[in-house]
Amino acid sequence: MMDHLPFNRGSFEVVTCLNTLLNLPSLDVVSAALHEMMRISTTHVIVDIRNGDNPYMRMKYWWHGRSADFSTVAYRLKDIESVFQSGGFRIEQAFPIGINLRPLAWGYILVGSRTTSPSPSP
């Protein structure tokens, strides 16, 4: 569903998606969702992720995945940065959640900004 949103290209100036990406089961699914958000945004995409570089968060979500009916995944900031770059965006700001040290932050609120002009709607 998130890989085909029912909106035209550039329908929104800002697209916000919070407390969602951690429930997507893989980086491929997150990538498809982010590309769709970038497609419908003219300027910014704001998302949050759980910090996959934090060993505690990785273990917490790995353990949850063994015992729950739905996934929770902590993604690495560098992987999400690559997804944004491949969609013509860059991470303008990464606000740490919890501890303000990259390997120990619980997560990040990310503000992605468009670096290329949006393609015209088909």
Q: Give tens-digit pLDDT for 64-122.
A: 877 777 788 999 999 999 999 999 999 999 999 999 988 899 999 999 999 987 666 65
Is 22 in contact with 49 (CB distance < 8 Å)? yes
User: Contact 89/114 with Cβ under 8 angstroms?
Assistant: yes
Mean pLDDT computed over 37-65: 93
Pick the CATH number of 12-114 from 3.40.50.150, 3.30.160.150, 3.30.70.2190, 3.40.50.2000: 3.40.50.150
Cα–Cα dist 38/17, whole Å: 11
- Asked if pLDDT for residue 28 goes beyond 90, the answer is yes
Q: What is the pLDDT of residue 119?
A: 66
pLDDT, the chain, mean: 92
Backbone dihedral region for residue 121 (phi beyond 0: left; psi -120 to 50: alpha; all else: beta): beta
* Domain boundaries of the chain, sorted by first residue: 12-114
- Tell me the pTM: 0.90
Q: Give the distance from CA 77 to its chain's centroid.
A: 9
pLDDT of residue 55: 93
pLDDT of residue 122: 58
Which helix (H) or strand (E) covers residue 14, if one does? strand 12-17
